[in-house]
Amino acid sequence: MKKRLQHWRLRVLPVVLALSGFAVTCQAEDDSGLDIADISGLDIADTLARSAPSAPAKASTSSQQRIFTEATVSTTSQAGRSTQAARVSLDYFRRIGSGPRMYGIVSGRLDNSWGPAPRSSRDSVHTLRELYVEWQGSPNWIVNAGRINAQFGEAIAFNPTDFFREGSLRSVTSVLPSDLRDNRQGSVMLRMQRLWNGGSVTVIGSPRLPKHSSKNTFSLDLAATNPSQRWLVAISQKFGQQVTPQLVFAGGASQPPKVGFSVSWLPRPDTVAYVEANVARRPTTLASIGAWHDDTRLRPQVAVGAKWNATDAISINLELDVDKTAPGTAQVAALTTAPPAVRQAFIETLLRNQNLAYPRQLFVAATWKDLLGPKGNVSALARIDAQSRRGQYWIELRKRYGATELGAQFLSTPGSALQTRGAKFSFVLDHYF
């Protein structure tokens, strides 16, 4: 039984996240089709990616590649009406080596969406995630140049030290944190890493690229990922076999310096605990769009949590997230009566920055591998406003048949003063080549 449960999938985590985000639903008047219920799942960390089974892939000594397609159909019930939508996606990754010390990476995704009906329309978006060259001059030095999806942080639901997340999401097709982090655009940068036993130093320089942000299908959208000159220095050193801290400094032109840290440790063999935080001078999200007075001051962002492997098949994650840029009671009241244009600007900014929608939220996730039989997993997530106790809830049933996976998902959004009650049911098919 333990062996069957061994690779329990953490898809549940992103679900919870999607469930409890800021729930101001503006779809009725918003042609973008985005609502805060969708955005709430944007900041879950990539722990899921590290815990999930790897996709089938063909590999050789000189290259590796992964290609898969995904098709979804969904029905959403909200505000007394029902809408249908569909999506077909092609996801690719290719690694090509040109020698023992140098190789190139190209990775991207093309999403074709239809709906929601009855005003059905087609929308195609290509996301170039990565396109870079890596050179390892020696075992202790690595240099990368190009578009790189640089990720930092140990938390699951929210990553305060993931400083390159802003402007990176071009297409949102999932509430899974691993998908949201992996399917985003990288930033154009030069990255250098110095490695030693148990530690490393990473130095990143990212230039401003003066282009206009574009929604054209195959646009590189460089203005979104490289809006200004930025730099980052990250230092990590492992202590013993159980404690791994990292200190991160970041800044750039026309932006205040940021200081962040993350640390993970093993309080017991079956549990991983972590703390991640950053602090910088910044306004709240609502003030940043000019809908509130200037309230710039030191505002921390913090994530504290743990993952417990109850058995080889069952995992439970618990995380508390704090974001002082999120709207407080007075700002929520203002958003409730704000014009649709202000709500839409708030949603777009929240999506671009990938910050939290609640000042404090509780994230809970659980997964159970093989509950539905061999390679049949159940995942569930919940993300809840710590003050109102309201949130969103998601569950997925997924089964693998060889190179094909079938899934059924259900998302429920309870109603509140800033949230329209609704539910979404989806069928998903993934096929790996």
Amino acid found at 424: K
**Residues paired with 143 in a beta bridge:** 135, 192
pLDDT value of position 228: 92
* Residue 429 CB neighbours (<10 A): 14
Give the CA angle between residues 414, 419, 420 to the nearest 5°. Answer: 75
pLDDT value of position 120: 57
**Distance from the Cα of residue 242 to its chain's centroid:** 26
pLDDT value of position 212: 76
pLDDT value of position 178: 74
The contacts of residue 222 (CB under 8 Å, 6+ apart) are 188, 209, 211
pLDDT value of position 37: 37
pLDDT value of position 58: 36
pLDDT value of position 248: 97
First to last CA, the chain: 30
User: What CA–CA distance (Å, rounded) separates 184 from 70?
Assistant: 17
* Residue 7 CB neighbours (<10 A): 17
The two three-digit tokens of residue 360, written as one number: 């404090």
Report the chain (433 residues): mean pLDDT per 10 consecutive residues.
39 34 34 37 32 37 79 90 93 86 94 74 90 93 97 91 93 81 94 95 95 85 93 94 92 90 94 96 94 94 96 96 93 89 89 89 94 96 85 93 97 69 93 96
Task: Compute CA distances 383 → 15, 72, 413, whole Å.
Answer: 8, 24, 11
Task: Compute CA distances 167 → 52, 226, 283, 423, whole Å.
Answer: 26, 8, 17, 28
- Among 144, 30, 47, which residue's Cα sits nearest to residue 95? 144
